[in-house]
Amino acid sequence: MFKSLMDLFDTLAPDDAFGRSRGGTPSLPLAAAVLLVEVMRADADFSGLERTAVRRALTALFAVSDDEADALTAQAERTARTASDLFAFTSPIDERWEMPQKLRLLELMWGVAYADGRLGDIERHTLWRIADLLHIPQGAYVHARLRAKAAAGLGDED
């Protein structure tokens, strides 16, 4: 119940221009967007397909319009460029989201990685680091990957 009240207060408390709540941590939408963008940026030549996958993920997670998702993505890209680590973005999600929500985010991040039809080593490593920081068990990590890979229509190769 306390967690539900905190979620309610966060939705009522306006974020500042940097997407930070009054406590100084990133808002949950910004934190999730930064993680999605980090997967997109892990591929040296990220494509429009990956950007579209980020937009789709944000609209699925937060029920925002495409324009709002694009604005959040732009803000996340600016934030990610100056971030020194992932912990600042995984921590609020890990503390506030239940495992099914974290797994959904992870699956959507895999979808970003697979959007261009291939998975790079840096993308794989980035996803592993994020999953570890979110305390996602290895089996759940693998199953999220397999679901995203199947959704992308890819075979057994990597």
Q: Which of 131, 18, 116 is nearest to 76 (CA)?
A: 18
What pLDDT shows up at residue 112? 96
What pLDDT shows up at residue 47? 78
Q: Is the dihedral of CA 116, 127, 150, 59 positive or negative?
A: negative
What pLDDT shows up at residue 158? 53
CA distances to 62, 107, 150 from 143, in Å: 23, 9, 11
What pLDDT shows up at residue 89? 97
60-114, pLDDT tens digit by residue?
999 999 999 999 999 999 999 999 899 999 999 999 999 999 999 999 999 999 9
Q: Is the dihedral of CA 92, 135, 49, 62 positive or negative?
A: negative
- Residues spanned by the domain of 101: 26-151
What is the residue whose two structure tokens read 């963008």?
37
Query: What is the pLDDT of the chain when averaged over all its residues?
Result: 86
Q: Report the alpha-carbon distance of residue 126 to residue 107 in Å, rounded.
A: 13
* Residue 35 scores a pLDDT above 90: yes
Average pLDDT over residues 39-47: 84
Q: Indicate whether 158 belongs to any domain.
A: no
Q: Indicate whether 62 belongs to any domain.
A: yes
Which tokens hold the place of 33?
Answer: 């967007």
Q: Is the dihedral of CA 48, 51, 53, 55 positive or negative?
A: negative
Give the CATH number for residue 123: 1.10.3680.10
Q: Indicate whether 121 belongs to any domain.
A: yes
Q: Indicate whether 8 belongs to any domain.
A: no
Q: Indicate whether 122 belongs to any domain.
A: yes
Q: Indicate whether 34 belongs to any domain.
A: yes
* Residue 24 scores a pLDDT above 80: no
Number of residues that this document lists for the chain: 158
Tell me the sheet residues that pair with 20.
26
Amino acid letter, residue 65: S
CA distances to 100, 106, 132 from 140, in Å: 10, 10, 11
- Quote the distance between the C-alpha of residue 109 and its chain's center: 6
Domain total of the chain: 1
Select the more confidently predicted residue: 145 or 10. 145
Q: Indicate whether 109 belongs to any domain.
A: yes
Q: Indicate whether 128 belongs to any domain.
A: yes
